Structure 1
């Protein structure tokens, strides 16, 4: 992750953009990892930074902080946010909490806990907002590589393997990179998150209705998911879409106006946005694809509608259950998948 320049440099730019909120203030870094974000905050003039991580990387983070001469400013706490003690309120929470598909194995719950335990009223949370998107996708090359290969293997008909190949290739969601050319429609919002107000209970299950209109005639192989996060100050509010859903300003996805992972800002006070859109430069999150076992041919302007539910698995809270209900052109079905 630390080699992901789009991710790391956007965080550094966001910290410097909000330096007036950080300078001379107390910061907590939730899930600090190697401590790089904590060090950025110290370099921006933070009075004190609490770098919290439950894993053993905290031991190395302490050494990194020491090697950079910041042990007097950055205090590394080895433990869970739910368990460690900080004997003062904090002005800023920073965290790179996002998981694949935004919510899979994310640390958002820990950010919420830190907010409710320590953040002063009106304090800053970076990132401030996040938006998860979805859209139907067509990916014939991926399907052909995984499935059609078995029709002729060195001159031998192995089509009897195709059903098993579909199960192996498409039973679980796939984290991979696609391009804007793979996307059949404009994306829709699955979940918008305001880090100042979201409750932990909202993470148990997320349900969204979707209704797309295909922009082309093509085989539809499944649905793609990606997300944007916005870094705005406490007084900023996200913009509204035409449907009334709050989203990060300018944070849509497959759009020819997108330039890189960072939203192009008309002036320095505009919110900074880190995008994992198919049209943005690749990040380590890539995109998450839920493939159908068999493609569905769709026509231009054909309506694709249904619902999607993302829920934490009762079997293992690290897992995420994905439930699709789909209908189009008189055809309907249910697709279940588990992200492990």
Structure 2
């Protein structure tokens, strides 16, 4: 992607320890101030205090330690708060200043490398990137399960579900197309650069668009889902998976892409809590996600669009997604390759203002 889009930061920032620490603490602050995320986690844990009372808990990727504090509030006997980065020092300071050393023990190190003096009854974590799987933190969550969880132990969260639906969004489509317009120039100081236009279009449309998505972008009442059960999923199940879909279109429009979000489920003995990042719910720092086709489909009301999203883990701590969509019975189809790690952020709008009426005709 470097050929047509500049990197977000220079190497200097990447190699500056102070910059890295600033980024870490700012990221932690943003997550803590996400009231939907933080409040839901507290409600799920403290609201199921019967599951935590007197139990041993492991908090994977504790950050500032907030989930470890929630486990202690729920009555946990011991909480091991594991953090590989220097945020472990921040968590330790908060534990000490709150007088929780007898319950919460901060362990600095990679989860794959550390040892604990005992198995745990419950694992808590917030191993979620946008579209559930970006950053591939779920793999560490599963390693923790296999390494430290007692048989029959609980996972908080219990499961995650990716949700997808067809969308129309002409403004965003035209914006992405316009970014490649320069490369159609036939005479740039005497040089014809138009041979690069198609590649430029492919690269811009391979971006995942992260931001608020209004419900009136959706052109079907149907959704397709893929649920990851954190108690049973394997490494193989996270490395590659597919989300097949079949949508009946409810409005004549241009299908520019797929809209997507996720739900998290916390299944406790006292309360079943769901954290949803749906457009119908209060906004979170995960927003929603739009995956655009460079060649959209014209669809009529009542037509059926079928296809699949094929997820494949990559070495960028994310996924490549190959999308296929076809008008059922017509042979008309489109495809798109998405690099999930290459995000374009459209997140400065309030959800209520993120509107785009279907291009009906």
Between the two proteins, the alignment pairs up a number of residues equal to 297
Residues 1:198 and 2:224 aligned together: no
Q: What whole-Å deviation, never above 9, does each CA across 1:195-234 have from its counterpart, x for those lacking one?
A: 111112211101132111111111111011111011103x
Counterpart in 2 of 1:188? 223
**Structure 2 residue ranges without an equivalent (≥5):** 1-30, 182-193, 342-361
Structure whose residues are more often helix by fraction: 2
Structure 1 residues 187 and 107: CA distance shift in structure 2, 3 A: farther
Residues 1:219 and 2:246 aligned together: no
- CA shift, 1:97, in A, is 0.9
- CA shift, 1:106, in A, is 3.4
RMSD of Structure 2 on Structure 1 (CA): 2.2
Structure 1 residues 325 and 144: CA distance shift in structure 2, 3 A: closer
Contact 1:32 1:52 in 2 (8 A): yes
Which residues in structure 2 correspond to 1:173-322 (within 5 Å)?
A: 173-233=208-268, 269-313=270-314, 316-322=315-321
Contact 2:322 2:337 in 1 (8 A): yes
1:173 match: secondary structure: strand
Separation (CA, whole Å) in 1 of partners of 2:40 and 2:317: 27
Counterpart in 2 of 1:262? none
1:7 match: secondary structure: helix
316-325 vs 173-182, which deviates more?
Answer: 316-325
Structure 1 residues 90 and 149: CA distance shift in structure 2, 3 A: closer
Contact 1:222 1:289 in 2 (8 A): yes
Counterpart in 2 of 1:326? 325
Counterpart in 2 of 1:244? none
Q: TM (normalized to structure 2)?
A: 0.77
Residues 1:68 and 2:101 aligned together: no
Q: TM (normalized to structure 1)?
A: 0.81
Separation (CA, whole Å) in 2 of partners of 1:299 and 1:225: 22
Counterpart in 2 of 1:263? none
- CA shift, 1:324, in A, is 1.3
Counterpart in 1 of 2:115? 85
2:48 counterpart (5, 10, 18) = 18
**Structure 1 residue ranges without an equivalent (≥5):** 152-159, 236-268
